[in-house]
Copies of this chain bind each other. A is one copy, B any other.
Amino acid sequence: MVEIRKPIPVAEAVAQVIGHVQRLGTESISLEQSMGRILAEPIVARHNVPPFDRSPYDGFAIRAIDSKGASGDNRVPFKVIGEIGAGYVGGLPVGPHEAYRIMTGAQIPESADAVVMFEQTVETEEGFTIRKPFETGDNISYAGEDASKGEMLIPSGTLIHAGTIALLATFGYADAVVYRQPVVGVLSTGTELLDVSDDLVPGKIRNSNGPMVKAQLKRLGVPYKSYGTSSDDLDACTEVIERALQETDALITTGGVSVGDFDHLPAIYERLGAKVLFNKVAMRPGSVTTVAVLGDKFLFGLSGNPSACFTGFELFARPALLSLMGCTAPYLPYLKAKLAEDFTKPNPFTRFIRAVWQMTGNGVTAAPAGFNKSNAVSSIARGNCLIVLPSGTRGYSTGDEVDLLLIGAEQGAEDWVL
Point out residues on A near B: beta carbons under 8 Å. 1-2, 31-32, 35, 43, 45, 47, 49-52, 56, 58, 83-89, 101, 103-107, 118-119, 123, 141, 145-147, 153-154, 161-174, 190-193, 196-200, 202-216, 218-219, 231-232, 258-262, 304, 306, 310, 333-336, 354, 358-359, 363-364, 371, 373, 375-378, 380-384, 406-411, 413, 417
**What is the bound-complex CA distance between A85 and B232, given in angstroms?**
9
**What is the bound-complex CA distance between A103 and B203, given in angstroms?**
12
Is chain A's binding surface mostly helix, strand, loop or mixed?
Answer: loop
Say whether, besides A86-B262, A204-B87, A410-B408, A166 and B58 are in contact (CB < 8 Å): no
Contact at A101–B203, with CB atoms within 8 Å? no
Say whether, besides A51-B205, A163-B380, A211 and B371 are in contact (CB < 8 Å): no
Q: Chain B: which residue is nearest A373 at the CB level?
A: B146
Q: Chain B: which residue is nearest A414 at the CB level?
A: B358
With a 10 A CB-CB cut-off, give which of A84, A119, A170, A336 has the most chain B CB atoms.
Answer: A170
Q: Which of B43, B163, B209 contacts A310 (CB 8 A)?
A: B163
**What is the bound-complex CA distance between A154 and B383, given in angstroms?**
11
Contact at A336–B310, with CB atoms within 8 Å? no
Contact at A163–B359, with CB atoms within 8 Å? no
The smallest beta-carbon distance between A327 and chain B, in angstroms, is 14
Contact at A214–B87, with CB atoms within 8 Å? no
Contact at B304–A163, with CB atoms within 8 Å? no
Residues of chain B with a CB closer than 8 A to A168's CB: 196, 211
With a 10 A CB-CB cut-off, give which of A49, A168, A260 has the most chain B CB atoms.
Answer: A260
Listed by A's residue number, 7 A-B pairs whose Cβ atoms lie within 8 Å are A58-B259, A58-B260, A147-B378, A163-B310, A165-B215, A166-B380, A172-B197
Contact at A172–B198, with CB atoms within 8 Å? yes
Residues of chain B with a CB closer than 8 A to A212's CB: 162-163, 165-166, 169
With a 10 A CB-CB cut-off, give which of A32, A167, A258, A304 has the most chain B CB atoms.
Answer: A167
Contact at A384–B411, with CB atoms within 8 Å? yes
**What is the bound-complex CA distance between A190 and B85, given in angstroms?**
9
Known: A2-B119, A163-B380. 4 other contacts (CB 8 A): A35-B218, A86-B190, A146-B376, A153-B381
The smallest beta-carbon distance between A143 and chain B, in angstroms, is 11
Contact at B310–A162, with CB atoms within 8 Å? yes
Q: Chain B: which residue is nearest A413 at the CB level?
A: B358
Contact at A105–B169, with CB atoms within 8 Å? no
Q: Which of B170, B196, B335, B359 contacts A174 (CB 8 A)?
A: B196
The smallest beta-carbon distance between A82 and chain B, in angstroms, is 12
Q: Which of B101, B161, B376, B411 contacts A215 (CB 8 A)?
A: B161
Q: Which of B105, B164, B198, B260 contacts A304 (CB 8 A)?
A: B105
**What is the bound-complex CA distance between A232 and B354, given in angstroms?**
52
**What is the bound-complex CA distance between A360 and B364, given in angstroms?**
14
Q: Which of B86, B193, B208 contacts A167 (CB 8 A)?
A: B208
Residues of chain B with a CB closer than 8 A to A87's CB: 190-193, 203-204, 231-232
Say whether, besides A85-B232, A86-B191, A172-B197, A382 and B261 are in contact (CB < 8 Å): no
With a 10 A CB-CB cut-off, give which of A1, A211, A262, A410 has the most chain B CB atoms.
Answer: A211
Residues of chain B with a CB closer than 8 A to A406's CB: 409
Residues of chain B with a CB closer than 8 A to A52's CB: 202-203
Residues of chain B with a CB closer than 8 A to A207's CB: 169
**What is the bound-complex CA distance between A154 and B200, given in angstroms?**
21
Q: Chain B: which residue is nearest A335 at the CB level?
A: B359
Residues of chain B with a CB closer than 8 A to A45's CB: 378
Contact at B381–A106, with CB atoms within 8 Å? no
The smallest beta-carbon distance between A246 and chain B, in angstroms, is 24
Residues of chain B with a CB closer than 8 A to A205's CB: 50-51, 105, 170
Residues of chain B with a CB closer than 8 A to A107's CB: 202-203
Contact at A166–B261, with CB atoms within 8 Å? no
Residues of chain B with a CB closer than 8 A to A215's CB: 35, 161-162, 165
Q: Chain B: which residue is nearest A404 at the CB level?
A: B359
